[in-house]
Every structure is written in C-alpha cells, then in structure tokens.
Copies of this chain bind each other. A is one copy, B any other.
Amino acid sequence: MQHSSFRVLVLGSAAGGGLPQWNCGCRNCADARAGRIAPQTQSSLAVSVDGTDWALLNASPDIRHQLASAPALHPRQLRHSPVRSVVLTNGDLDHIAGLLVLREKQPFALYSTPETRAVIEANAVFAALDRAHVAISDVGLDRHFDILPGLSAELFAVPGKVPLFLEQGEPQTDLEGGQTVGVAIERGGRRMVYVPGCARMTPALAKRLAGADLVFFDGTLFADDEMVRAGTGAKTGRRMGHMPMSGPDGSMVAFDGLEVGRKVYIHINNTNPVWRDGPERRAIAYLGWEVAKDGLEIAL
C-alpha cells in the first residue's frame, strides 16, 4: 500500500434503493434478503492518499451504515472523522441524502457544481450542515481542485437529467452541463474516473475515459427495458438518464477501444442480472468488466 498513488474504497455499489430495495420482491432482492447473494448499499466511493484522511464521492442514504462498516473511516478521537471532504456528482437523492446524516458540527469541505449546490440550498433541511463547520464550495467544470491535501480532482459534464424530484413534465434526459458530472482523480501519473450516472457516450466523455487506469461507470441496467419487462417499473433506463450495459448504444460497446486499465460497473440497480452468475455476467466479464461490491478496495 505504501507505494500506491491513491486508494479507492467502494462504500456502496448499488443504484438508488439499494439491494434489497425496501419495497421490491424481485429475485435479486429476495435472494439478498435470504443471504443467497450479498446485500449492497447505495453508490458511493471513498478515496485516500495516506489511508488517514479520506474524501467521499457522493453521500448515499446508507452513509451511516457505510462509515460504520469501514474501519478506516471510524473516528480516532472523541469527536472526529477521517472524512475531510465530500464531492457530489448530481442532486439525486441517492447521492445527497447522506448529507443529512453528516450533521453534528463536524468540519468537512463539500464540493459540487453550482447547479447541485442550488438543489442543496433550496432545501432548508440541509441547513443541518452548519456552515460554521461545513464549507460549501462551487467547483467549475474542467478545473483542478484539491479534495485532499495532495489529491486533485476535476468535475466534467456527463449527459444526464435533473433529479427526479425536480422533474416537471418530460425532462430532457441527456443535458450536458453542471447538473450531472463525473469525477476524475489523478495522482502520480495514475488516473481514476467515476461516472455513476450517464445517459449516453459522447466524444468528449470517450476522450476523458480513454487510457484511465480505473473507471467506475454507470451500471444501472443491463438492458434498457429491464425494469419494464421485470414488472418493477414503467421507465426505461434512458428515461431515467442511464445508458444500459447492453445494446448498440450501451456501455459495453461504447467502451470498445478506450483502453481503460480496469473497468468496474457501479450504481447497479437491484433488477440487474449481473448481480448473479449467468449469461449477462459472463458477457460483461468477457469484455473485461467487473461488478463493484461494497468493501472492494483498489490501490492505484
């Protein structure tokens, strides 16, 4: 570990709702409740240079359980946390609701685009983050900023939509701006990119991903109409702002030729068949994809 550039810990690998989801009786959720497959919490990563100070990428509703499950993230004094900063990739509840747990006059820095900050600031409940302790900073796209001492990051636009709770009528699902971003982290020549939500591949995004040592990418659905066919929802992946893994416009095809060192699907919906052994999982593995799991740690 001493010779690595930085390390990444998967706090949560599942999409909004988690595995199992409270009101879902699908095969994956039933198997997760019965212990036949491992339960997974909602999408979030923790990154660190020294293993002492950590930055979180997104704050999921499961954050209390996630922090309790990770010894590196336990307090080391009477009131303390190794969490020095939190970066948000959009204003979706599965990425911001955990901020409500991070109240308690504990200092940390919160980084997001102005668009996501506006979502936070429009909701009085987030005043629970006392500004005397939590510094909220706007971060422009495509600019380097330090998320930890010695670890710089960059936010970049990814096609997506506004949060579901702000939708009015049929939303544009592939807006490119500050409402949905990815995070690139680079240190000592090693580069990781985290994109938990992405509506479609664009030339700019392909360029951003190409040659990365590690990518965590939107693995919400295997098939675009998976929830419709499973009877668990009326929406396609595209309607939700998530490109599927499979199909001609899916991420499996889109990553062809990008020469990414290690590709890991994250933000995986409870309906996704890759949670279990089967042809879909074999298909993604054949193309070099892994499936994130809570607790997975990767040193770069």
Contacts and interface: CB of A to CB of B under 8 A. Distances in A.
A23 B232 contact: no
Nearest to A63: B22
A125 B93 contact: yes
Given A61-B101, A124-B123, A80 B23 contact: yes
A126 B136 CA distance: 22
Given A61-B61, A103-B93, A124-B123, A78 B22 contact: no
Given A78-B231, A164-B128, A22 B61 contact: no
Given A74-B33, A100-B61, A79 B125 contact: no
Given A79-B232, A165-B124, A232-B78, A104 B22 contact: yes
A294 interface: no
A203 to B, nearest CB: 34
Nearest to A81: B23
Interface string A67-89: 11000001111111100000000
A132 interface: no
A219 interface: no
Interface string A8-28: 000000000110111111100
Contacts of A67: 22
Contacts of A96: 125
A76 B33 CA distance: 12
B22 A79 contact: no
Contacts of A100: 61, 93, 97, 100
A298 interface: no
B18 A64 contact: yes
Contacts of A68: 20, 22, 33, 39
A81 B20 CA distance: 13
A22 B77 contact: no
Nearest to A61: B101
Contacts of A164: 103, 128
A166 interface: yes
A62 to B, nearest CB: 7
Contact of A65 (B25, B65, B81, B124): B65
Nearest to A122: B124
A128 B18 contact: no
A102 interface: yes
Nearest to A33: B74
Contacts of A125: 93, 96-97, 123, 125, 165
A228 interface: no
A103 B127 CA distance: 22
A122 B126 CA distance: 12
Interface of A: 17-18, 20-26, 29, 33, 39, 61-65, 67-68, 74-81, 93, 96-97, 100-106, 119, 122-128, 164-166, 230-233
List the 3 closest pairs (A to B, CB-CB), nearest first. Answer: A25-B75, A23-B81, A23-B106
